Structure 1
Amino acid sequence: MSSNELSLRYDLLNSQMNPHFINNAIQSICNSITKGNVNQSINWLNRLSHLYRLVQKSTKCKMIDLQEELEISTLYIELQRDLFDKGFSYVIKIDESLKEDLEHTKVPPLILQPLIENAILHGLKRMKQNGKGELQITVTVEKEMLYICITDNGNGITKTEKELNESSGISLENINERLKIINGGKSEKKLLEVRTLKNDTGIALGTQSCLRIPLIQI
């Protein structure tokens, strides 16, 4: 492919990233309103509106600041947590060497949201009513690559790769393709890896999705 063709291909992949969760969130908010939770519902709508504006802005760009990507991710997580029966806990851990450079570190827009969505809606699905769900995002640097992992404490992967792609709002193949394009096809390692975490006896401890993104700082 020529560089122009790759650019057009990348733009097409980006345009698919408007998260479908917004429809589900609106339906949940409508249900909340019918139950009389008006003030809470207004709060949710305000946050959803802010999130949507950020999403619309970000998907018009080839790359955005890591700080903005994390802001979108945090808003999305907190909205989902509030709509998630008894909720869940979450933490975002950022490498000390990156904390001062989040505004200058570039990543593809909404590269994390589909993986976070999978972790919440599928990984933590069985914990909706006990409030024991845990979500963790870690951002580190390894050999000129950003290494970002999303980990949940659910039951691990219970679907085939094909089923996982089909059940995702955005195909995992989309994420992998975008990473390949910005990486120039140079990496020998997997750029997107989704795996079940297990203890020494083989019992599933959760699911971990890890991305390798070229470290681009401007």
Structure 2
Amino acid sequence: MSSNELSLRYDLLNSQMNPHFINNAIQSICNSITKGNVNQSINWLNRLSRLYGLVQKSTKCKMIDLLDEIEISRLYIELQKDLFDKGFKYTIKIDEALKDDLQYTKVPPLIFQPLIENAILHGLKGKKRTGKGELTISITLEKEMLYVCITDNGDGITKTKSELNESSGISLENINERLKIINGNQCEKKLLHVRTLRNDTGMALGTRSCLRVPLIQI
């Protein structure tokens, strides 16, 4: 495939993210309005305005600042957190070596969001009314790569790969394809890995989805 064809393919994959992402956020707000949560709905609309601006900006670009990608993730998590009856805890951990360079580090737009969505809507689904759900996003440096892991403390992977793709609206293949393109199809390591975490007795402790993104700093 030529570089021009790869570029067009990449643009197409990016464009698929925008309507799905915004549609889900609007649906969440509609649900809140129908329940009569006026103040919460206004708060969400303000967040959505900020989120929409970032998403619109990001999906017009092949790469965006890691700082913006983290802010998109944070706003999305906050919106979803309010949908849980008692919320859930979340942490975003950033490698100390990256903290001063977030605005100079580039990543594909909305590369984290589908995995965060799966973690919240599927992984933490069983903890929606308990307030005991936990979500962790860690971003570290590993041999010229960004290593990004999204971990939840839910029931592990209960869907097949094809069901996960269908339920998330944006397939895991979309993420993998975009990572392959920016790697030039030359990386031997698996770029996207999703697995169930288990204790010594085999009990599921949650799900971890990890991405390897080339370290690009400008």
Which residue is equivalent to 1:9? 9
Structure 1: runs of 5+ lacking an equivalent = none
What secondary structure is seen at the aligned counterpart in 1 of 2:185?
Answer: coil
TM-score, length of structure 1 as denominator length: 0.96
2:137 is aligned with 1:137: yes
Contact 1:135/1:153, CA 8 A, preserved across alignment: yes
AA at the equivalent of 2:76: Y
Q: Supply the distance in 2 between the matched residues of 1:22 and 1:4 (Cα, whole angstroms).
A: 29
The 1-side partners of 2:4 and 2:75 are apart by: 34
Number of corresponding residues: 218
CA distance in 1, matches of 2:42, 2:14: 30
Partner of 2:93: 93
Could you say which residue in structure 2 is the equivalent of 1:150? 150
Distance 1:24 1:193 in 2: 24
* More deviation, 37-46/195-204: 37-46
| Corresponding residue of 1:184 | 184
Instruction: Please give the root-mean-square deviation of Cα atoms over the aligned residues, in Å.
Output: 1.2
* Residue in structure 1 matched with residue 117 of structure 2 by the alignment: 117
Percent identity over the alignment?
84
- Tell me the TM-score normalised to structure 2 length: 0.96
Spell out, residue by residue over 1:19-44, the C-alpha distance to the aligned partner (whole angstroms, 9 max, x if none).
53543443443343344322221111
Range with greater deviation from structure 2 (10-19 or 134-143): 10-19
Amino acid at match of 1:105: T
Unaligned runs of 5+ in 2: none
CA drift at 1:50: 1.3
Q: Distance in 2 between matches of 1:32 and 1:65?
A: 31
Q: Distance in 2 between matches of 1:166 and 1:38?
A: 32
1:35-89 superposed Cα distances (whole Å, 9 cap, x missing partner): 4322221111111121111101100000000001000000000111012221100
Residue 106 of structure 1 corresponds to 106
Matches of residues 12-31 of structure 1 in structure 2 within 5 Å? Answer: 12-18=12-18, 20-31=20-31
Distance 1:40 1:197, change over 3 A: same
Q: Which residue of 2 aligns with 1:38?
A: 38
**Against the structure 1 CA distance between its residues 49 and 206, is the aligned structure 2 distance closer, same or farther, given a 3 Å change threshold?**
same
2:168 aligns to what? 168
Q: Distance in 1 between matches of 2:84 and 2:23?
A: 15
* Distance in 2 of aligned mates of 1:126 and 1:175: 26
One-letter identity of the residue aligned with 1:106: K
- Please tell me whether residue 212 in structure 1 is matched to residue 215 in structure 2: no
Q: State the Cα deviation string for residues 150-174 of structure 1 (Å, max 9, x = none).
A: 0000000011111111111210000
User: Which deviates more from structure 2 when the two are superposed, residues 175-184 or residues 164-173?
Assistant: 164-173
Cα offsets for 1:115-174 (capped at 9, x unmatched): 000000000001000010000000001110100000000000011111111111210000
CA contact (8 A) 1:19 1:170 kept: no
